[in-house]
Structure 1
Amino acid sequence: MKVLDLRCSHGHAFEGWFASEDDFLEQNGRSLIACPLCGDHAISRTPSAPRLNLSGAREVVPLPGSHAAAEPAALPAQARVEEVQAAWLRGVRQLIARTEDVGARFPEEARRIHYGEAPNRGIRGHATPEEREALQEEGIETVAIPVPRSLDGPLQ
């Protein structure tokens, strides 16, 4: 199994697991690989460091009186970006798990809930900007959250 560092044309970094380099090239050539954040199919491989098995490594203990490694070093900017992306993706997955998908019926179902005609619950679905504006004028708050196409189906 090969673990490759990948990036979409929008700069989102993620990992892909493939049986071989040829398997990655074949899947990428057929546009079967998509960014988990934006669904982009323009994927490129980025340089990666080999994974090292450091099971025998020991923690470095500073000598008495030294101030070395008192605080962890700041994360590189790319690591922070990847942490934010991963946190956003976890949040979207939680949103999906905790809400009911009503699809194109979203405006109708939001009104039914607002006016007490349907049970109060979290819903998600699709609405045009005009439909969202009409809901807001009725006092119904909505939030537009882009959900990657890769999360529309079963999570893997």
Structure 2
Amino acid sequence: MIVFDLSCADGHRFEGWFGSSADFEDQCARGLLTCPACGSAAVSKAPMAPAVPAKGNARPAPVVDGPTQQLANVPLPPKVQQAIAALAKAQAEALKNSTWVGDKFADETRKMHYGERDETPIHGQASLAEAKALIDEGVPVAPLPFPVAPPEKLN
């Protein structure tokens, strides 16, 4: 694995782990990389210091509680919070008229696509391989932005 410091067009810095430099280039070219802070797909490698291993007889560096410790607790900007809330509300509204089909999602979606079943809104679970196969067949599917708990698992 290789870790790269990345940055988006808005200047947010974050790190990404990849199998190789070619994996980074491939994922970047396919638009799979987005900034975790703002969602921008304009992501590139940021300048970074090389990882130099410490000497075996070196004294460990002291842990410093400073600005980097506080960054993890910084709330999202209000506009981002509003966008997330609006997206969650839209998903909840869409799911009100949708039926949970669980792990039969790929089969049920295929049946609708090929006219073997009436078309109705459904949601459920599919593996990455199943989702790719559906897309390759031309079946219109999309992932939900937020995870959905199966009805039998709700309290």
Structure-2-length-normalised TM-score: 0.45
* Larger Rg over CA atoms: 1
